[in-house]
Amino acid sequence: ASVVHRLDLDTSGVMVFPLSKEVHAHISRQFQERKVYKNYTAIVFGLVENDSGRIDLPIACDWQNRPLQKICHEKGREAITNFEVIERFAKDNCTRVTLKPETGRSHQLRIHLSEMGHPIIGCDLYAHEQALAGVERLMLHATELSFEHPITRKVISGRCSPEF
């Protein structure tokens, strides 16, 4: 078994482990061609105003502050994240959102939400102190992955509900 994709450090949820090199290559190609459906759940700091939206900000490596990434309109690669509010928690000043990335850049969800002014709670890379206070882990979970099975050609979906 080998992993075909990876989750950011501290992200929980669904992963794919092909059992042969051929299957690994087929599924990897689906990721590269953006044919894999990915859905994440996150708890973000603050009350997100819009019920849904699209974040389209290019991302590049921040070489002087590795492993951080940064928004860079000159050298960054296309990065698109769609979001939808699931629930707002006024008492706790946070929002549960569904995230559907169209691209898969390193730290994409973390940096996009931080740039939006709503960092993921528990994110030790892009969140401010308030968003880090009182939590023990990153509130980001890979909820669903769907892709075409390399042999049967049927769509395979894996789902895993978050524990937060």
Sole residue written with tokens 């759940």: 41
**Length reported for the chain:** 164
| Percent of residues in the chain assigned helix, strand, coil, to nearest 5 | 15, 35, 50
Sole residue written with tokens 């909820």: 143
Any idea which of 23-27, 68-72, 92-96, 117-121 has the lowest mean pLDDT?
23-27
β-pair partners for 155:
148
pLDDT band at 38 (very low <50, low <70, confident <90, very high): very high
pLDDT averaged over every residue in the chain: 94
pLDDT band at 80 (very low <50, low <70, confident <90, very high): very high
Nearest to 81 by CA among 68, 67, 100: 100
Q: Report the pLDDT averaged over residues 87-107.
A: 96
> Higher-confidence residue: 7 or 95?
95
Hey, which residues are catalytic here? 8
